[in-house]
Amino acid sequence: MADVAARAGVSVATVSRVISESRPVAESLREAVLGAAADLGYQVNLVGRALRKGRTSTVGLLVPDLDNPFFSSLAQHLSTAFKGSTTDMLVFSTCGDLGVERRGVESFLGRQVDAIVMIPCHETDSADSVRRASQATRTIQLDRQVVDADVHFVGCDNAYGMELIGDHVRQNVATVDGPVIYVGARAVSSTGHERYEHFDRDFPGSPAYLGEFDFGWGQEAVDLLLEDGHTSGTIVAAADIIALGVMARLHHRGYRVPEHFRVIGFDGIGVARFAQPSLTTVRQPVEEIGRTVLDLISDAPDSISQTIRIQPELVVGESSPVQP
pLDDT at 175: 61
H or E element at residue 281: strand 280-283
Edge to edge, the sheet with strand 58-63 lists: 88-93, 58-63, 115-118, 138-142, 152-156, 307-310
| 2-21 pLDDT, tens digit each | 888 898 898 888 888 887 76
pLDDT at 17: 83
| 272-306 pLDDT, tens digit each | 888 899 999 999 998 899 889 988 888 766 678 88
pLDDT at 47: 57
pLDDT at 154: 94
Q: What is the mean pLDDT of residues 206-214?
A: 93
Handedness of CA 84, 85, 88, 92 (dihedral sign): negative
Judged against a pLDDT cut of 80, whether residue 44 lies above it is answered with no
User: Mean pLDDT for the chain?
Assistant: 88
Instruction: Tell me if 286 sits within 8 A of 77, measured CB to CB.
Output: yes
Closest CA to 268 of 68, 62, 65, 73: 73
CA 130 from centroid of its chain's CA atoms = 17
Domains, the chain: 2-44 (no CATH), 54-155+289-310 (3.40.50.2300), 158-285 (3.40.50.2300)
> Is the model more confident about 224 or about 40?
224
Instruction: Tell me if 277 sits within 8 A of 257, measured CB to CB.
Output: yes
Judged against a pLDDT cut of 80, whether residue 37 lies above it is answered with yes
Handedness of CA 236, 239, 245, 251 (dihedral sign): positive
pLDDT at 46: 58
Task: Give 168's pLDDT tier (boundaries 50, 70, 90).
Answer: very high
Judged against a pLDDT cut of 60, whether residue 159 lies above it is answered with yes
pLDDT at 158: 95
| 60-103 pLDDT, tens digit each | 999 998 888 888 888 888 888 877 777 888 999 999 899 999 99
Percent over 70 (pLDDT), the chain: 93
Closest CA to 208 of 196, 223, 198: 196
pLDDT at 195: 94
Q: How far apart are CA 297 and CA 293, in angstroms?
A: 6
Task: Give 52's pLDDT tier (boundaries 50, 70, 90).
Answer: low
Phi/psi region, residue 208 (left: phi>0; alpha: psi -120 to 50; beta: rest), is beta
Task: Give 22's pLDDT tier (boundaries 50, 70, 90).
Answer: low
Q: 160: burial class by Cβ within 10 Å (0-12, 13-18, 19+)?
A: middle
| 94-137 pLDDT, tens digit each | 998 999 999 999 999 998 899 999 999 998 999 999 999 999 99
